[in-house]
Amino acid sequence: MKVLVATARTQGERENDYHWAMEGELVRVGEVCGRDIADPGGGCGCGRGFAGLNSHRATTTARVAEVPLTRPEYVEAIRSSLQAQGWDPCACCSTDEADDLAEYVATWPVGTIVERRLDILRVRALPDELAA
């Protein structure tokens, strides 16, 4: 299954990049605090970060990866991460989020590096650009 994982690749292209997640861990689009809702480039940085499902730490870059997961396993990874962090582990919300993330990455080639600006994910680098 194609999913997003944490990566340090292309870190530093933006002055406000950060990478505290574990390399290769599954990530999700986390909630945005009041400081970042108007400006993802300022505040605490949550409006431009991806949340690591295992470490519960964040990164501003994610990579499209092919991971040996089934859709139900992906949904469970998101649900159990939310539960571990004290969020309501609503199964329907985890399912919707897994489906949304899978839809985002469906057309991007494996190895694509993406960044986030609030609810918008966009390509930072394609695999062929990284090989050069």
- pLDDT digits 0-9 by tens, 63-90: 999 999 999 999 999 999 999 988 876 7
pLDDT of residue 92: 65
Other beta carbons within 10 angstroms of residue 98's beta carbon come to 23
Core vs surface per residue 108-119: b (16+ CB within 10 A) or e: beebbbbbbeee
pLDDT attached to residue 8: 97
User: What pLDDT is attached to residue 85?
Assistant: 87
Provide the token pair at 119: 């609810």
- Stated pTM of the model: 0.92
Q: Structural domain of residue 86, as residue ranges?
A: 2-131
Give me the number of domains the chain comprises: 1
Looking at residue 35, what is its pLDDT? 86
How high is the pLDDT of residue 23?
97
**Given this model, what pLDDT does residue 91 score?**
61
The H or E element containing residue 73 is helix 71-84
Taking 50 as the pLDDT cut, the residues of the chain under it are none
DSSP string, 6-71: E--TTTTSSTT--B-SPTT-BEEE----TTTSS-TTSTTSGGG-EEETTT--EES-EEEEE-S--H
